[in-house]
Chain A
Amino acid sequence: MHRTWKQRIAVRACTWLAISALFVWALRWSEFSLGNLLESGPRFGEFFSRLVPPDWSVTQAVVTSTVETLMIALAGTGIAVLVALPLGFMAASNVSPSWLAQPIKWLLGAMRAVPLIVVAMLFVSAVGLGPFPGMLALAFHSIGMLGKFYAEEFETAEPGILNAVSGTGATWGQTLRYGLFPQSVPQVVAFTVYRLEMNFRDAAVLGLVGAGGVGYYIVLYVRGFQYERVAVLVMVIIAVVTLLDGLTFWVRRKVH
């Protein structure tokens, strides 16, 4: 399939035209308006001016609930890893038969497709308010994400090494443990800590539906126009995200 240079330029032009048209269409649908944005300038300014001075009296409550959010994220990610690892092996087409790998891939896809907030609402109505349904929702959603990623990572494993390890008379489990897994560890660890970081941010909004953590205060203070308190909220959340960011960077550098 060789195209002439004229055809190539035409194809490229059409592609860019189509992408641009889609983008413009999306902007219109979103009721994008530069005028409105410029007119809102003073309101943004007022919002920022009301952030200071922060109301430090709420620090303890905010920090406690942020720690709860962090714990929801840690527990949810931990459960997700425990479930996603075996599912990832089962969904990896190089080590699992397709009658098993394909359905598991569909299952993981379906789990990813349900928005987190919907999952959280379902769990809240099932097990009641509090951090527990939040953690379950995060775990559920993360299994879909991590399982897919693990499977794709396992599929890149060098087949010669798998053959070499199974060639010693190793069982299927031993071959996965010693031939497959060591090859994938750096990527698996890097993606897992990245997922933890994302889960913390996701967990921060779980409180909107009564699923525990700092989200409760976000609703309370923002809806109540208590911007001096929102300031404390934002600072604490930024501090934790920055810490997590540093942690993921450190872990990724250490595990290679």
Chain B
Amino acid sequence: MSVSDRSGQPVIELEDVHVVLGSNLALDIEALEICAGERVFVLGHSGSGKTTLSRLIKGRTRPSTGRVTVLGHDPAAPESRRRHRRRVAMIDQEYHLVPRLSVAENVLHGCLGRVSPWTSLLGWYPAAEHAKAGAILEEVELAGMENRRVETLSGGQRQRTAIARALMQDADVILADEPVSALDPELAEDALELMVECVARRNVTLLVNLHQPDLAARFASRFIGLANGKLVYDGPPSGFTERDAELVYRGKPSEKPTGDSRQDDRLAQDLEAADRRPGLHLVGD
């Protein structure tokens, strides 16, 4: 699984990108290119810029300077924003499913970008989408759980529902931000394996933020190491040495270093403030 596949077309390109959040330089990348079908695992402690990188690709954050191109477009361009969001799916740390709705309803949300914006408001989806959702639920081993409310599910089941919603989107790129951090270690490995298998069947480009290098090495075709917003490693997992790990984690001994927690907190606050800014995410869609 660790054979590097860079024969595809470039899907994600970053040139001279700086992202300043509040008073922090959150990301500073001179050049980065990710090609179709790659399975990239982004390593780094919290606050290293991993989340900022996925937000840039998703179009949720604009670079302060520099250029981001995803699937040939500027991801934050207002005129193509909806189409872009549909093509880049995101599985985040807390999954953010709608707790009161059923598993099937949450998975069907994945097709909102391609069904009629009016009939879907009445809860009506084409039969083909229902069939597709059923097949995906089978694939993520949630068959028979369709009508369960998400709030009654276990952590692992929620995680698989979130994967199913992302797959339902038929996206070209799937971003996963610490997708297994809420799970037990054994569950985490199974969940990652399931996600990577599903993605491999579709030849989708996968970008996963993860803080455990040895777990990432099992599934990645490429590692990217970030420290303080800078690219400190970019290459195959086999070339990721102790020294690289030290660079990424700045000599911190544990697998999940805490970093400068005050700076992390500030960064988290800035991100949260950006999320909560009135009208930011919905107005103008």
Chain A residues with CB under 8 Å of chain B are: 93-98, 101, 158-179, 182-183, 185-186
Total contacting residues, chain B, CB less than 8 A: 38
Assuming the contacts A97-B279, A159-B275, A169-B114, asked whether A177 and B121 have C-beta atoms less than 8 A apart, the reply is: yes
**In whole angstroms, what is the CA distance A72 to B181 when docked?**
55
- Residues of A near B90 (CB, < 8 A) are 164, 167
B100–A162 contact, CB under 8 A? no
A90 to chain B, nearest CB (A): 11
Q: Mark B101-130, 1 if CB is under 8 A from A, else 0.
A: 100010001111110010011000000000
Let me know if B279 and A93 touch, CB within 8 A: yes
B183 → A minimal CB distance (Å): 18
Do A163 and B281 touch (CB < 8 A)? Answer: yes
Is B73 interfacial (CB 8 A cutoff)? Answer: no
Determine if A96 and B279 form an interchain contact, defined as CB atoms under 8 angstroms apart. Answer: yes
B111 proximity list for chain A (CB < 8 A) = 168
Question: Considering the chains assembled together, what is the distance between the CA atoms of A172 and B281 in angstroms?
Answer: 9
Q: Which residue of A lies closest to B90 (CB)?
A: A167
Most central of B82, B94, B98, B117 by chain A CB within 10 Å: B98
Give complex CA distance A167, B225 in Å. Answer: 26
Contact between B283 and A166, CB atoms less than 8 A apart: no
A174: nearest chain-B partner, CB-CB: B112
Given A94-B278, A179-B98, is A163 in contact with B60 using a C-beta cutoff of 8 Å? Answer: yes
Contact: A178 with B278, CB < 8 Å?
Answer: no
Cβ of A166 and Cβ of B285 under 8 Å apart?
yes
CB-CB < 8 A to A175: which residues of B? 282, 285
Determine whether the beta carbon of A168 is less than 8 Å from that of B165.
yes
* In the assembled complex, B169 has its CB within 8 A of some CB on chain A: yes
Q: Is the CB of B278 within 8 A of A93?
A: yes
Majority secondary structure, A binding face? helix
- Determine the chain B residues whose CB is within 8 A of the CB of A165 once the complex forms: 98, 109, 112
Residues of B near A162 (CB, < 8 A) are 281-282
List the A residue with the shortest CB-CB distance to B175. Answer: A167
* Chain B: CB-nearest residue to A186: B100
Smallest beta-carbon distance A101→chain B, Å: 7
User: Can you list 22 contacts pairing A with B, beta carbon distance less than 8 Å?
Assistant: A93-B278, A94-B276, A94-B279, A96-B283, A97-B279, A98-B278, A101-B278, A158-B96, A159-B275, A160-B94, A160-B96, A161-B98, A163-B275, A163-B281, A165-B98, A165-B112, A166-B281, A167-B85, A167-B89, A168-B113, A168-B165, A178-B109
Residues of B within 8 A of A169 (CB): 82-83, 85-87, 112-114, 169
Residues in A with CB closer than 8 Å to B283 are 95-97, 172
Chain A CB within 8 A of B140 CB: no
**Given A98-B278, A160-B94, A169-B85, CB of A174 within 8 Å of CB of B117:** yes
**Smallest beta-carbon distance B110→chain A, Å:** 5
Residues of B within 8 A of A173 (CB): 117, 121
Kindly state whether residue B28 has any CB partner on chain A within 8 Å.
Answer: no
The 4 closest A-B CB pairs, nearest first, are A169-B113, A169-B86, A164-B96, A170-B112
Contact residues, B60-97 vs A (CB, 8 A)? 60, 82-83, 85-87, 89-90, 92, 94-97
